[in-house]
Structure 1
């Protein structure tokens, strides 16, 4: 049977960006009727989405972990564990939904193609990306590329942080709870090792409108978690698509 909107829950992890989360929730409700939304907010009470925008928060299931700053890994796992539908759609709190998401088209692709995680584009970003070991497996190279293609859908190793998947697939894979940030590539690298079918629908888009704040910025810029992820998989460095190299 075809996936219905009621079969999908939208999962958002947020911290210290209440206006950004409010903007996302309102855009979801505007473009997707009766959307099921779970928001996990692990921020300080004075910076929480629920306190700042109670009317928007009332449209969601808002979860506050017992501890502040549990991190992206823990927060997303809490959200996925709370999902009561067969499918989930992951979003970052600085995404904005527009008609260009083409959600019906995305659902149809997921129904009819061999795919476990189906991501969407983020404007000019979110292109199909590969994760290739270099230097006898000591460096991981993040680069543009694809394994195969069917029309607008390209199979690859990594999509954006806006994707559709079966809930049980993500509950099994999960995010590394030690990684409070810099979790993205590590999640998809393990998806690759697990032989999951990852793809990007090149004609479906989410708007990525980055929002920062004095309370948020220090939490995002903790490079020690990037180093932890690299060392976990035996890498001493990473090469980004633009050629920049960072070391563990």
Structure 2
């Protein structure tokens, strides 16, 4: 996988506007042909790329697969997309033989036949933070792979290499991986060189190399971490949807994160699913809560690692 040629910092606002425009068109009453085209194009791109990965990427050795299965657990949060989550699980089994924990707050929890998949059923629409915390509580391995249900793994998701890196570099807590959005075929680097006022100074400067990988203050929701490090931070359950940035803000100065774009997965969004998107976009309460919390942090009335602000 390779980073985009356009600077993410400059292109993101335009991309965000384009995504919103596309999402509105896909959800329009007359958008059925566009929905079918979007889904078909993404599926075709995914099939071609995964075939390429099978042909070009080396298969892990049995010893490497066994080591990863013993020391890593995959954690995924899902909601209202059982078919999408099953696609992730199916793709994971091509490269991973270990345990997968799925947190599901759908009205009807996911059911799977795979005995190595544990589904944690939650009250309806509990939110991402609650789901990740509950799933993480079930992990008993040294490393955890955090991913989302609309991701697809392939041979390019070389988990044994990521674990080897973490073992060589005990000061690193998280290794972010490339995540190619389809059908755009764009690899996102969500790294930032500054955080919200009040956060602790980072352990290493943005862009500094650690054993060949650049430091990032934040990475996409597609990373391998030390389980103990994740438990030190956790997810703020006062947040239902906007958990990601808050996690890395609180991790600043406490965890060290790097990015490896040579390994990764594919991201196939579903902006045409109206019921899912209705809940996904309902984050006004999250924004208000985070504003109050981080204002308190910036004013010194709360520590930067506060997980719940009731002031």
What is the TM-score with the length of structure 1 in the denominator? 0.80
Measured after TM superposition, the shift of residue 128 of structure 1 is 5.6
Measured after TM superposition, the shift of residue 152 of structure 1 is 5.0
Q: Say if 1:96 and 1:206, in contact at 8 Å, map to a contact too.
A: yes
Aligned to 1:141: none
Please tell me whether Structure 1 or Structure 2 has the larger radius of gyration of its CA atoms.
Answer: 2
Q: Where in structure 1 are there 5+ consecutive unaligned residues?
A: 139-144, 236-248
Q: Which has the higher helix share?
A: 2
Correspondence 1:160 to 2:220: yes
1:38 partner SS: strand
Correspondence 1:61 to 2:118: yes
What does the per-residue CA deviation read over 1:115-149, in whole Å, with 9 as the maximum and x for residues that have no partner?
11111011233426125258xx49xxxxxx93302
Alignment of 1:188-207 (within 5 A): 188-192=248-252, 194-207=253-266
1:129 partner SS: coil
Q: Say if 1:181 and 1:226, in contact at 8 Å, map to a contact too.
A: no
Aligned to 2:179: 122
Measured after TM superposition, the shift of residue 150 of structure 1 is 4.2
Aligned to 1:109: 165
Q: Say if 1:87 and 1:167, in contact at 8 Å, map to a contact too.
A: yes
Q: Say if 1:131 and 1:189, in contact at 8 Å, map to a contact too.
A: no
Alignment of 1:143-182 (within 5 A): 146-150=206-210, 152-182=212-242
Q: Where in structure 2 are there 5+ consecutive unaligned residues?
A: 1-63, 181-185, 199-204, 297-311
CA gap 1:59/1:126 in 2 versus in 1, 3 angstroms: same
Aligned to 1:238: none
2: distance between equivalents of 1:202 and 1:99? 14
Q: Which has the higher strand share?
A: 1
What is the TM-score with the length of structure 2 in the denominator? 0.65
Measured after TM superposition, the shift of residue 201 of structure 1 is 1.0
